[in-house]
């Protein structure tokens, strides 16, 4: 048994990191699943004139306007047209500002 096998077998299921995997230009990436709110099918994107190429559009998710970030641009990859496999990942807020406002109200 290698050291790696020992480390893997000694980790409990509760300690295991759950990830969302995605492929861009043949490269495999993983994102902590705890940071992902939901995965959406591709929906209509409203382009924002004179915006950053990284965040150039907005989407409507159940009546909420959500900025759209392009991981391909952030990673220095060529922009490609969407395909049938294209998905949009919605990320959880990384802070608790919303919770703090509720508590102080």
Q: What is the pTM of this model?
A: 0.65
- The predicted pLDDT at position 39 comes to 93
**Structure confidence at residue 14 as a pLDDT band (50, 70, 90):** low
How far is Cα 89 from Cα 38, in angstroms, rounded to an integer?
6
Cβ partners under 8 Å of residue 84, min gap 6: none
Class of domain 3-92 (CATH, top level) = mainly beta
Instruction: Quote the CA–CA distance of 15 and 17 in Å, as a whole number.
Output: 6
Q: List C-alpha distances in Å: 62 to 39, 65, 87, 90.
A: 13, 9, 16, 12
Give the pLDDT confidence of 28-58 residue by residue, as tens digits: 999 999 999 999 999 999 999 999 888 889 9
Q: For residue 9, is pLDDT > 70?
A: no
What's residue 53's pLDDT?
86
User: Residue 102 — φ and ψ, nearest 5°?
Assistant: -65, -40
């Amino acid at each position: 048994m290698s050291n790696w096998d020992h480390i893997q077998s000694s980790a409990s299921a509760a300690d295991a990191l759950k990830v969302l995997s995605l492929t861009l230009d043949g490269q495999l990436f993983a994102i902590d699943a705890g940071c992902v709110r939901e995965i959406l099918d591709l929906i209509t994107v409203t382009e924002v004139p004179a915006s950053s190429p990284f965040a150039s559009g907005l989407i409507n998710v159940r009546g909420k306007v959500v900025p759209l970030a392009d991981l391909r641009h952030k990673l220095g990859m060529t922009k490609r047209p969407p395909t049938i496999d294209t998905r949009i990942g919605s990320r959880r807020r990384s802070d608790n500002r919303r919770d703090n406002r509720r508590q102080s109200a």
